[in-house]
A and B are shown apart, each in its own frame.
Chain A
Amino acid sequence: MKEINSLVMQMAEWKFGGYSSSYLGNDLYFFYEAMNLLIADVGEEWLEREMEKEGKNWQEIKLRLQKLKKTILRVKMFYDPIIDKKFSKKELKKSDVQNMFESNFEESIQRLPLIESDLYETIIFLLKKTMMGSRHIGVDAFRVLEHQGMRKLDKTSNERKNRENII
């Protein structure tokens, strides 16, 4: 089992948390980032050597992944403003910009393959061969997207806290 830097593992955990709590292409963006993090730590040469042992060609996979990355980035570009509701208005009629974002988003999802092998195989390969596979995704990692933020700031003042403690 190849060891990975603990900081990288922690960062990858957050990415996997993002992957599993998101959908429709946005999840693939986090998955891709997690893969990049793991490859950066492990090294491309090591990955290439290990893949060769199992009869896989990393260079070919890499080219196909780069094509996929373009589509993923396109989806992400339209996904974010829709989720953030940047252009939505309270009026009943949708604005032109919002319509444009939604139609472009739907068009770009159609380009994403429903059954994708290269990205998933590479990630699973990395998880099987490294210590990352035995990690566990913390509850906090799921919360990043589900609740929009790591954790809410405690706004109660110290004075009030002290008062509550005395009571």
Chain B
Amino acid sequence: MRLIRELIEKKITLYNEFMGLRFYRRAIWNFYCAYNLSLAFLNQKMDIVDIKKRHIKWVEFLEEKDNHSLNQIQKFIEEDMQIVYLALNNMVKINENEGGELGDLYISGTIGMSAFEFYQS
């Protein structure tokens, strides 16, 4: 779980960085990597029609590099960002319920407890 979260977070930070630097191709690609990871994590599938819409705009942008297709892709990104947030929120919730993974001793409501109390709870 931790590794998936790290991968998504890294891709999203790269997306932000490249958007700021106006490397749009790399930014869009990185965002959709994070999106793919989140979709797979949530066990969801996208409609073929929606996939095609995005792919057509992507190819259009690669060929012409115009503002029109970029704006449309950015609209898609705004829609798809919700899935990424959902995946990240789910991971945080699962981590809290499970009490973390190896080496992480955080369980909600156990801060300040001694070690022997921790095992009894």
A interface list, Cβ under 8 A from B: 16, 19-21, 23-24, 27, 106, 109-110, 113-117, 120-121, 123-125, 127-128, 132-137, 142
Contacts and interface: CB of A to CB of B under 8 A. Distances in A.
A26 B62 CA distance: 16
Contacts of B70: none
A21 B9 CA distance: 12
Given A106-B62, A110-B59, A134-B101, A127 B3 contact: yes
Interface residues of B, number: 34
Contacts, number: 84
Contact of A24 (B10, B26, B54): B26
Nearest to A116: B36
A133 B4 CA distance: 7
A123 B41 CA distance: 10
B3 A137 contact: yes
Tell me the dominant secondary structure on chain A's binding face.
Answer: helix
Given A117-B36, A124-B40, A134-B1, A142 B54 contact: no
B14 A127 contact: no
Nearest to B23: A23
B10 A135 contact: no
Given A135-B2, A137-B3, 15 more contacts: A20-B6, A20-B7, A20-B11, A24-B25, A24-B26, A110-B59, A110-B63, A114-B51, A114-B55, A115-B35, A115-B51, A116-B36, A120-B37, A133-B1, A137-B7
B29 interface: yes
